[in-house]
Each structure stands twice: as C-alpha cells, then as structure tokens.
Chains A and B, each alone.
Chain A
Amino acid sequence: MFDLVAFFPRAVMQSIPLLFGSTGETLTEKSGNLNLGIPGIMYVGGICGVIGAFFYEQAGASNGFLAVLIPLVCCLVGSLLMGLLYCFLTVTLRANQNVTGLAMTTFGVGFGNFFGGSLIKLTGAEVPSIALTATSGYFRKTLPFAESTGVFGKLFLSYGFLAYAAIAIALISSYVLKKTRVGLQLRAVGESPATADAAGINITRYKYVATCIGSMIAGLGGLYYVMDYACGVWSNNGFGDRGWLAIALVIFTIWRPNVGILSSMLFGGLYILYLFIPTGTFLAVKELYKMLPYLVTILVLVLTSMRNKRENQPPESLGVPYFREER
C-alpha cells in the first residue's frame, strides 16, 4: 500500500533545496547573522541560473559542460550579490537584521517572479514559456549505473549531481565548523564578538565571508529546484515557502549541518506525505496533512527551548549587530 521505493526518491528530491538552504543559513547564523533573506536569496539563485541558461540556450549552443557551468556561475554570482547586500546593510551599516532580511525576501521573491514572468517579453524571444529542457537534462544526469542496479540504484543513485553536492557541502561545513581553527573562530564571532575581537579575530571579515558563502550555498538550492526538481520549467511562486522551511530546519538540526542531511529528508518526506496517504473521497484532509512540516517544526522549537540544554542553544549574539565602541 505505501510505496517506499516511489516515496523515498521523491522525498530526497524535496529535501535537497531545504538542505542547501539550511546549510547556508547555519553558516550564516554561526557568524551571528540571522539572515531572514534566505527565501529571497534562493529565488534569486534560481532565477539567475534560469537567466544564464536561457541566454545560453537561445544562443543555440549545446556544449554539455558549458550548459551546466553557466547557470551555476550565474546562480552563485546572483546569490553572492544578495549576500553582500545583506552584509553591507547589517554589518557595515549595522541595520536591524530582521527588517533587512524581510526586505531582502520581498525583493528576492519579486525579482524571481518578475524575471520569471517577463523574461520572454523583455528579450523578445519566440518561445511560449521558459522550459530549459536541454539544460535541465544535463543537471538531471544520474550516475551511470543507476538504471542497472535495480532498487538500490533507484533509492541512492538516481539523483543529479547537485544532490550529492548538497550532501558533500553539508558534511564539509560540519567538519569545518567543528574541527578546524577557522570554524572555531567563526563560532567565537557568533557567540561573543567582543571576546573574539579581543583575541584579534577580524569580526567584519568573518561575518562577511560566512554570510556570503552561506548565501551562495542557499542560492544553489534555488538552482537545484528549477533545474532538477522542476525539470527546467520556471513557474512563479513554484518554489513556495521552502526558504522559510530551510530556516526552520536550522533550528530543527540545532545548528549542525550533518544532522541536516537526515532531517531535511524527513522534512522532504513530510512535505509530500499527503500525496501518498490515501484519503478516499474527502480531499480536504490533504490540506491538513500539508501542515505536518510546520507543526513538527513548532514542536521541535518548543521542545528544544523547554529542555534548554546549553549545547542546543542558538549562537549567543544571533541577531545582534556588533559595534566595537558600544561595549
């Protein structure tokens, strides 16, 4: 009745954008920046990739390597610019992080939907809709033995390269945060910038670098969604609220990217569970099942705050701008 072999790969594909987003946001938050602009950044990352691929396909070229590289670079540059903007406003100009983040989300979602909806009109191209099937084909290329290894191949090998990249990036981030000097210093910046400053750590540089790298990772989530999950078809608001879920996932994983791998799959599963639960004729119940990821997040949020263990707390100075002369 419950088809696990069909369910699992779809849950994983749902989870990858969330994983990218939450890994990026974890790095950002470790530097003390609560970047609520992540949903916007993911839209920008996605649409920049689409724009790059669109022009490349319009030019009529079809080099497989370039077809992947160009959207990838466009996506990274777009989300990097968003990250820089956030840093400039919150770190250099010490603006309120919540307001800046929300403004970035408004801007980013608008940016994505605007260009997604108007790209054809603006460029005067003669195509009915943005469908980057060729580019998407390269992004979706699976490992060579995914077909021949049966159920195992379908469960573990049937994803595009960005999915494996997401897991690798999460593992690397986790290692860097926990085991290296850079990670230690980054955590110090997020926990107590004044102490880190006294120890000779360049606070501004750490905040900038962590937030920008975090934004670029999150932007990849948008790119994965468009190119792999949605098969290269941009639909306005199609990305939905995954950006917010990614931020929620950061808390769910208690700021550990490696935990994020499994928990994002759990979230991905909850996100699409309503498709797999038989509801009979009463279709409205499906809408209630869609609540599950949010309810679970709330539950975790409340439980972690109730238990109040020291190692499970957010970075001490999360959301607070640092100004040396205000100590």
Chain B
Amino acid sequence: MAKKNSGPVLHISKRDNLPWYGAWAIRGTAILLALVVCAFVTTALTGENPLGVYKTMFQGAFGSKRKMWILGQNLAILLCVSLAVTPAFKMRFWNVGGEGQILIGGLATAACMILLGDKLPNWLLICVMTVSAMAAGAVWGGIPAICKAKWNTNETLFTLMMNYVATQLVAFFVIVWEVPKGAGKIGIINQSTQAGWLPQIGSYKYLLNILIVAVLVVVMYFYLARSKQGYEIAVVGESERTARYVGIPVGKVIVRTMMLSGAICGLAGLLLVGGTDHTITTTIAGGRGFTAVMVAWLAKFNPFGMVFTSFLLVFLGRGAAEISTIYGLNHSFGDILTGIILFFIIGSEFFISYRLDFLKNNGKEQA
C-alpha cells in the first residue's frame, strides 16, 4: 500500500526450515515485546511503574500457597480442555464448542450427584459420574462431527451454537434443581454426605485434578505422535484427498476424533463439578473452551508445549485479577492483556514461516 509507488522494498519468501531454537527465539521476542506493551498499558491505566506492575502480577499468581494451588488448578483445567480440542484441530476440524462440551459434562456429573447421590456406594457413583460425563461430552462433540462427515456442514458455527444450547440446558436444570426454591442456583451439592465428591489426596484439594491432567498430557502426546489413530488424524488434517486415496475412512476418523475431543472436555466438566466446585452454574466453563483454542494453536498442537502456553495465559489472568483488585478496576483487565499477548504471538508466526529480504537497489529496478 505505502510501498506501491516506490517499487518493492521487501521480498517475502517461504522459509525452508528454521531450526527450532530460531522459532522459539522469535516467539520469545514476541512475548517479551508483548509484555513490555502490556506493562505500558497497565501503567497508563493505573499509574504504577511497569516493573511494579509485574511484581504485583507475580504476587497475584505466586504470592501465597493458596494462590499457587489455585494457579495449578486453573492451569490443569485449561490444559485439559486444550488437550481435548487438539486432536480435532490437528484434523483441521475447528472445535470451538469446548465450552458447551464442558458444560454438558458438568451437567451430567451434577445430575448423577443429585439423583444417585444417596442410592449408590461412593466408588460406584464416581464411576457412573465419570462415564456419563465423558459420554455426554462425546455426544455433544459427535453431533456436529456426524453432520460434518456426512454433509460437510460448517463445524465452526455448529459447535459454536451447541455452546449456547448447552448453556440453556444448564440454566434449565439449575432452576429445576435449585436449592432452596427460588434461589436461582443449586448451591453445594451433597454438602453433608460429600457423595460423589472426587477423593482428596492428603490435604491437597486440587492435587488429584493436577495429577489426572499430567497423565493426560503424556497419554495425548503418545496418542498423537505414536499411535495409528494419531497418524490418521494427521493425514486427514494435511489432505483429505490423500487420506481417502490411501484408504483412511475420513468420515469415521472425523467422528471418532470429535467424540474423543468431546469426551475429554466432558472430563474437564467432571473435574470442575465433581472435583472442585461441587456445584454447577452456566458460567462454570468460564470461556476456557475459547481460550483452549488459542493455547493449542500457540503450542503448535504439541501437548508439552501446551503446558507452557496455558501457564502463560493462566499467569496473565491471575496476575491481572490481582491488579484489578488492588486498583479497584474491572476484572476484564486480564482479557485485554491476554488479547495483546495473543496478537503479538499470532503476528510472530509470520516471521517464523516467512523470510523478509530488504531489497536495497529497488530504485534501479523501477521502471
């Protein structure tokens, strides 16, 4: 646009292979730049010096033992959802319905806790909860997948709409099961009997969630990188035609992968309802279904990389929450910072896949 009259100044070409440390150097620079910009934005709004801002954010994330456990818990749930959406993305299936799949998994969990709480022994109840949460998530993810496989229905919008259907279903059951009548919320389920609460390891409330997700990271890595199904997913993602040519049943792979994706989201719902909150609300997923898309993409779908990217986003969220509390600002401040960091990282991908050459002699070339 600006360079229109002066002939080409830049030549853009695809990079063949950037060594991994080069790619991470570029990403690191982008994150650093973003953090500087974030600091200035925060300074402009609160008046504290930029270094002080990060000190406050650091305290918000790691300031006390309790805060560190909350950080770990948030990290675990976000990571779980990110792992869930990854196989679908590797297949180029845009599952932005994580939100709904978490909610429906959580709803199934809550239903079991409320309806079967006093009828089954606790170990059996937890088994039933796990199975039904994952099944509910799988169904929620499977419906758009079946339509995609059969009629090539746009999955981005289908999964998006399923989020709202799930939200309304939860809103419906919240009113049906509300305690006490007219309160508009369910409250802590089975407070006295603790039936269906996931067991605590020692005195650490969140440890079980963190361990489950840690195992999931490793399993997902091997599933994607080493298993036959993981390979099929990669082929379908790269080229559906190739997949068809070599005899991979594309439709079956799509439905199977999405059901897996939904089931893991359902598991996240189970961890939230059964393991942490012991209640259900329409906002229990808290936008994680969308954040997970970005976490997975930023890590280039590598499960171990996702540990770092989800840590980055959770840290920002917790840190920004601390800043908002101290300065009496709105809690959406974290979203702004997250947005800025994401823009920088998204932009940096360009410099990883393309090379820029500045043309020095463009004056001569020009006619």
Taking Cβ atoms with an 8 Å cutoff, the residues of A that contact B are 34, 36, 85, 88-89, 93-96, 98-100, 102-118, 121-122, 204-205, 208, 236, 241, 244, 247-248, 251, 283-285, 287-288, 290-291, 294-295, 297-298, 301-302, 305-306, 308, 314, 325-326
Give every chain A residue within 8 A of B338 (Cβ-Cβ).
106-107, 110
**Complex formed: what's the CA distance from A302 to B152 in Å?**
9
A2 CB to closest chain B CB, in angstroms? 22
* Contacts A248-B157, A298-B161, A305-B153; A110 near B335 (Cβ below 8 A): yes
* Contact B151 A103, beta carbon cutoff 8 Å: no
Q: A95-B347, A99-B346, A122-B45 are in contact. Are A106 and B165 (CB under 8 A)?
A: no
Q: What residues of B have a CB within 8 angstroms of the CB of A241 in the complex?
A: 164
7 A-B contacts (beta carbon < 8 Å): A98-B156, A108-B339, A122-B45, A244-B161, A295-B165, A298-B158, A302-B151
Chain B residues with Cβ below 8 Å from A117 are 329-332
0/1 interface trace, chain B 277-301, chain A, CB 8 Å (1 if under): 0000000000100110110010000
Binary contact track B170-181/A, C-beta < 8 Å → 1, others 0: 011101100000
Given the complex of chains A and B, what is the CA–CA distance between A237 and B227 in angstroms?
A: 43
CB <8 Å contact, A244 and B160: yes
State whether A99 touches B294 (Cβ < 8 A).
Answer: yes
Q: How far is the CA of A112 from the CA of B158 in the complex (A)?
A: 26
Contact of A100 with B339 in the complex, beta carbons under 8 Å = no
Contact B165 A291 (CB under 8 A): yes
B161 contacts A301, C-beta separation under 8 Å: yes
CA distance A34 to B96 in the complex (A): 14
Determine how close the nearest CB of chain A comes to the CB of B261; give it in whole angstroms: 15
Q: How many residues of B contact A (CB 8 A)?
A: 53
Main secondary structure of the interface of A (DSSP, over half): helix
Known: A98-B94, A102-B293. A109 touches B335 (CB 8 A): yes
Please name all residues of chain A whose beta carbon is closer than 8 Å to the beta carbon of B175 when the two chains form the complex. 283-284, 287
Known A99-B293, A118-B329, A288-B172: A89·B154 in contact at CB below 8 Å: no
Beta-carbon contact of A103 and B335 below 8 Å: no
Tell me which of A113, A247, A308 contacts B157 (CB under 8 A): A247
**B19 neighbours in A (Cβ, 8 Å):** none
A114–B161 touching, CB < 8 Å: no
Contact A107 B343 (CB under 8 A): yes
Roughly how many angstroms separate A96 CA and B297 CA in the complex, as a whole number?
A: 9
State A88–B2 Cα separation when bound (angstroms).
14
The reply to whether the CB of B350 lies closer than 8 angstroms to some CB of chain A is: yes
For B161, B176, B287, the residue with the greatest tally of chain A CB atoms inside 10 Å of its CB is B161
**A residues less than 8 Å from B172 (CB atoms):** 284-285, 287-288
**CB of B168 within 8 Å of the partner chain:** yes
Flag if A308 contacts B339 (CB, 8 Å): no
Contacts of A34 on B, CB cut-off 8 Å? 156
Evaluate contact between A107 and B339: CB separation under 8 angstroms: yes
Candidates B290, B339, B342, B343; contact of A111 at CB < 8 Å: B339
